Amino acid sequence: MPAIVVEDLRKSYGPVRAVQGVSFTVETGEVFGLLGPNGAGKTTIVEILEGYRRRDGGRVEVLGEDPARGARGFKRRAGMVLQECAVEPYLSVREVVELHRGYYPSPLPGDEVIDLVGLSESADVRVMRLSGGQQRRLDLALALVGDPELLFLDEPTTGFDPSARRNAWEIVRSMRRLGKTILLTTHYMDEAQNLTDRICVVSHGQVVRIGTAVSLRAERAATSIRFVKPDGLTVPEVGDLMPSGEDGLVAVVTDTPTRTLHELTAWAMAHGVELERLEVTQPSLEDVYLELTGGE
Amino acid sequence: MSELSVSLGQVRAEQKSFWRNPTAAFFGFAFPLMFLLIFGTIFKGQTVCVDGYYNNRGQCVGGGVQVPYNTFFVPTMAAWGVLTACYVNLAMSVTNRRDAGLLKRLRGTPLPPAAYVVGVVGSALITALITVALTELVGHYLYSAPWPAHWLQSLVIVLLGGAVFCALAMAVTVLIPNADAAIAVVNISYLPLLFISGFFFSFNDTVLNDIAKVFPIYWFKEAMLTAFGARLSVSGWDGGDLLVLLAWGVVGLAIALRFFRWMPRRA
């Protein structure tokens, strides 16, 4: 049974059509990424799935329930990391975690959760004295404390420094290994690429593409061969020639990289020149993403 | 976990947060006690005309009975303490938490909304009882005010009034657009009423008096004065006081149940 089913979901705020007919399915045990620029409708979609917002139309099922009915059973089985949600500032990390443990029928041990998110050394520190990154880790701890089957992570690493992000990724991976289903929103490409099984690219409230990072990348098959243009020579017409950018490299874009590369190197050798800083690159997910979302 | 233990856990967490927060502890607890000391010292040895007023010859008229100032102002300061803990502090802290997304977070957990409300209301009532007890002790030992005339009645009135003002606090959060506006809305909604309800002194103005009698603060003060034995013209329970008070409680509860918001208002 899929963990999440979304069919033709629609939501407007006054005249603004924030979500326009979005459909996707998240399988149990899958890490599913909603990727899109700010204002694409990611948070609206997630908040409808979490039961915070009413939808205007379409069908939504989360863990077999309609979240709009606000049943407690569903909240016991799902953990949420929300954007910009404070924790009681005058309680310590341990006190908050213990308080939240009391909300769930079979919570994880408090120390284990605190340790998992790397807050052991700050367990007795009051929430108000935590750094921004530590507070986000506490968010994650509170989402995990009820031992959920399903995790909603709405931009969980925004504002993290690189090492904190790596740690958060490690936690997500370990949750995945435990068989948890995870719905993640992000506008970081590398995060989507590193963590998710499938990516759903959202733009202007619509699904642009769903697929694995590899399959999305494969959509733009063209490979770039880049090098410093030798002085006084004209590059032969073996592919689409792109003028040099900031890095001073020209790029030849081709669907047949083996052949094109052979032709270019043969041409260079015939003129007795070296192709300085020669490189062959695959399109990055970022290129695909920018193309799909219209470069926003 | 049973509902009861979850609710008790919330009360405990609320109490911890309250006493650790210097601003809350000052404005929600120490503020009325400060005025107890100030007024107790200023008006020491004077009298007040309860339920009436002094005419220009200095006689207590208009159905009033003259009592020592300390006998009168210990119950009114205790009443103010209840208002502070149950109305002012509750409305402010709930609004602040709503705006900070704390209530939104809780809505994403299986914590029943009722258990959360029991937590904040229970904690406010505990704070109110501590304030009243301390006011009594200070009033009795420092300003030789008498002990409450009716102990059980005093306790019931404090809890009942406290519960009514908790309901009104939850209702008033509906009118407060954001945390920045909380202090203004809360103060404007109750401070003028304190003065025209005769918390500090009696006066002769029928218009102000009639206005005051529309609101629950006046009737709560009356009920407190009765229970503590400062209204010599009345003894025992006065159903009239409680009627208006309870009606406001019901209105507050209805508004809170219908319109209370858990989500912060975003631009």
What's the one-letter identity of residue B210?
A: D
Burial class (CB in 10 A: 0-12, 13-18, 19+), A162: exposed
Statement to judge: residues A275 and A134 lie in one domain: no
Contact B187, B31 (CB under 8 A): no
- What is the maximum alpha-carbon separation in chain A? 76
Residue of B nearest to A127 (CA): B17
- pLDDT higher than threshold 50 for residue B130: yes
Give the Cα separation of A85 and A211 in Å (integer).
31
Q: How confident is the model at residue B267 (pLDDT cuts 50, 70, 90)?
A: very low
The answer to whether B17 contacts A88, with C-beta atoms less than 8 Å apart, is yes
B10 neighbourhood in chain A, CB within 8 Å: 99
pLDDT (tens digit per residue) in B80-122: 999 999 999 999 999 999 999 999 999 999 999 999 999 999 9
Statement to judge: residues A252 and A164 lie in one domain: no
Intervals of chain A under pLDDT 70: 220-221, 295-296
A103 neighbourhood in chain B, CB within 8 Å: 1, 6, 109-111
pLDDT (tens digit per residue) in A244-285: 777 778 888 888 889 999 999 999 999 989 988 898 887 777
Q: How confident is the model at residue B171 (pLDDT cuts 50, 70, 90)?
A: very high
pLDDT (tens digit per residue) in B213-232: 999 999 999 999 999 988 87
Statement to judge: residues A208 and A240 lie in one domain: no
DSSP state of A120: G
Q: Which of these, A161, A155, A121, A162, lies nearest to A139 by C-alpha position?
A: A155
Give the Cα separation of A85 and B264 in Å (integer).
10
Statement to judge: residues A27 and A168 lie in one domain: yes
DSSP state of A129: G
Secondary structure of residue A211 in the 3-state scheme: strand
pTM: 0.85
Residue of A nearest to B108 (CA): A75
Buried (b) or exposed (e) across A239-276, using 16+ Cβ within 10 A?
Answer: beeeeeeeeebbbbbbeebeebbebbeebbeeeeeebe
Give the Cα separation of A189 and A180 in Å (integer).
22
Contact B79, B154 (CB under 8 A): no
Statement to judge: residues A187 and A226 lie in one domain: no
Q: What is the CATH number of the domain that holds A21?
A: 3.40.50.300
- pLDDT higher than threshold 90 for residue B4: no
Mutation target among A13, A85, A154 for the B interface, most CBs of B within 10 A: A85
Terminal Cα-to-Cα distance of chain B (whole angstroms)? 38
Contact A7, A26 (CB under 8 A): no
Does residue A152 come out as left (phi exceeding 0), alpha (psi in the -120 to 50 range) or beta?
beta
Mean pLDDT of B21-32: 88
Tell me if A293 is assigned to some domain.
no
For residue A237, give its domain range: 220-283
Terminal Cα-to-Cα distance of chain A (whole angstroms)? 36
Tell me if A93 is assigned to some domain.
yes
Statement to judge: residues A152 and A266 lie in one domain: no
pLDDT at B159: 97
The answer to whether A95 contacts B108, with C-beta atoms less than 8 Å apart, is no
